[in-house]
């Protein structure tokens, strides 16, 4: 008699169960390996930014300025000092081999041509400024809370369906939270050749500014008396996971090329007004989480910590359990 060959239903179910169990055992390892690679990419990004900061300082004898405020983007003909309305991202472009991007609109006086050039700037994704653990490298919408992106780019607005590129990193503004500012009002009739003379009198009226990048800053390495290895430079930023892509977070609603703004600046401390007067308490780093829209915080989508560069060019992975007072001191360049 001939015997038929094949699997019984019970054998097939057992094999499927074993395969499923093996996949279940392997999946966490695969996910961990992918996250390790993404974390390494973030570290490389921060290292390149730190190198760009130091190259900027070598050429201009000060670290990148923080710009004027969140109602301004960079101006290609405004130089690299306190009269440059754009922030730190805009000012390191030439030092990360993106000088052509920074020069968009240079020498142009025609308003329409400038608008087109600046629109090309804010809609250019830059992989260096993207954390792959956080969100895709893409453009994200202007929220309905903002009538327009900037005084010098009003055509980019929520009503024009404008999408812009945003950074996943923050510069060190210090250990004292000086809040943000929209910057000086634009005078449309004022020629750009007269901006320097006119806007030189505008200053942000705030408390001590002890970081390495803030409104109209021109911090030199010699100003970092705490030591470059003990003073933070730039690191990953905390975000509410509910608002990674919609532009409704107060900490992520402008663009990467904006001036001084909570999108691009972090503080290691915050003002605590008590009976004994104003002091600063630590603003400890946090892992990204839903429902908490916290401006000016450092942190990341990585589950165990975030990458931060220091002013000597080194990069460290800082645990979320870092001592608050130690982290607070990382912000101030001259607070011992």
Q: SS3 of 187, please? A: coil
The four Cα atoms 313, 56, 260, 243 give a dihedral, to 10 degrees, of -50
Q: What is the pLDDT of residue 145?
A: 67
Q: State the Rg of the chain over Cα.
A: 23
Q: pLDDT by residue (tens digit) across 90-145?
A: 999 999 999 999 999 999 888 889 999 999 999 999 999 999 999 999 999 988 76
Within 8 A by CB and 6+ apart from 109, the residues are 192
User: Which DSSP string corresponds to 75-140?
Assistant: -TTS-SSTT--S-HHHHHGGGTT-HHHHTTTTT---HHHHHHHHHHHHT---GGG--TTT--S--E
Start-to-end Cα distance in the chain: 93
Q: What is the pLDDT of residue 135?
A: 95
Within 8 A by CB and 6+ apart from 193, the residues are none
For residues 9 and 302, which has the higher predicted lDDT (pLDDT)?
A: 302
Report d(CA 23, CA 25) in Å as an integer: 5
pTM of the model: 0.88
3 pLDDT higher than 70: no
- Contact indicator for 298, 213 with CB cutoff of 8 Å: no
Q: How many CA atoms lie within 13 A of 38 on its CB side?
A: 22
pLDDT class for 207, splitting at 50, 70, 90?
low
Domain boundaries, the chain: 10-96+125-138+166-331
């Amino acid at each position: 008699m001939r015997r038929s060959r094949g699997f019984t239903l019970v054998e097939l179910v057992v094999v499927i169960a074993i395969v499923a169990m093996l996949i279940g055992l392997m999946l966490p390892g695969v996910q961990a390996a992918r996250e390790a690679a993404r974390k390494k990419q973030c570290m490389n990004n921060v290292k390149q930014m730190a190198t760009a900061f130091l190259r900027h300082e070598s050429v201009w004898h000060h670290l990148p300025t923080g710009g004027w405020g969140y109602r301004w983007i960079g101006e290609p003909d405004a130089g690299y000092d306190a009269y440059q309305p754009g922030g730190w991202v805009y000012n390191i472009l030439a030092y990360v081999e993106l000088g052509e991007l920074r020069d968009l609109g240079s020498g142009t006086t025609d308003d329409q041509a400038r608008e087109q050039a600046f629109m090309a700037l804010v809609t250019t994704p830059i992989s260096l400024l993207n954390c792959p653990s956080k969100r895709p490298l893409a453009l994200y919408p202007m929220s309905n809370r903002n009538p327009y992106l900037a005084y010098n780019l009003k055509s980019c607005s929520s009503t024009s369906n404008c999408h812009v590129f945003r950074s996943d990193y923050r510069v060190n503004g210090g250990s004292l939270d000086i809040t943000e500012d929209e910057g000086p009002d634009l005078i449309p009739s004022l020629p750009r050749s007269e901006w320097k003379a006119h806007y030189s009198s505008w200053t942000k009226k705030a408390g001590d500014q002890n970081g390495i990048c803030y409104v109209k800053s021109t911090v030199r390495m010699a100003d970092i008396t705490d030591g470059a290895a003990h003073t933070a430079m730039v690191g990953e930023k905390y975000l509410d996971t509910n608002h990674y892509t919609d532009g409704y977070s107060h900490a992520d609603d402008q663009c990467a090329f904006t001036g001084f703004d909570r999108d691009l600046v972090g503080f290691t401390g915050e003002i605590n007004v008590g009976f004994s007067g104003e002091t600063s308490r630590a603003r400890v780093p946090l892992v990204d989480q839903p429902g908490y829209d916290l401006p000016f915080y450092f942190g990341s989508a990585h589950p165990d910590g975030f990458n931060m560069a220091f002013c000597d060019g080194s990069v460290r992975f800082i645990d979320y359990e870092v001592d608050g007072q130690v982290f607070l001191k990382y912000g101030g360049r001259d607070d011992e």
